[in-house]
Amino acid sequence: MTGAFVGAAVVALLQYLRSRERRLILLMAMLLLQAFSMTREWWDIWKDVSQGAVCLVALVLALSYGPGRAPESPPDSPPQT
């Protein structure tokens, strides 16, 4: 299962390189942190720390899709005669 998260992070990296969308970096970080937490034993404190970091990155990712600037409308073109 860890390989699936690492593979998804690689796909997110490739998409970032293609589109330069900064939110994909957050997605990649979230996937890699989840993969790291899956490699830890249940009693390891770093499993809990990385799971908390996954939640924090997910919240930041959700907030990055919040209301922002309105898209600029194209300038009006003069009427055709």
Instruction: Please say if the pLDDT value at position 71 is more than 80.
Output: no
Q: Can you spell out the DSSP letters for 40-73?
A: S-TT-HHHHHHHHHHHHHHHHHHHHTSS-PPPPP
**Residue 36's domain spans which residues?**
2-64
Tokens of 72: 């600029």
Looking at the domain assignment, is residue 76 inside a domain?
no
User: What's the pLDDT score for residue 72?
Assistant: 63
Looking at the domain assignment, is residue 8 inside a domain?
yes
pLDDT tens readout for residues 15-69 = 999 999 889 999 999 999 999 999 999 999 999 999 999 999 999 999 988 777 6
Looking at the domain assignment, is residue 77 inside a domain?
no
The whole-model pTM stands at 0.76
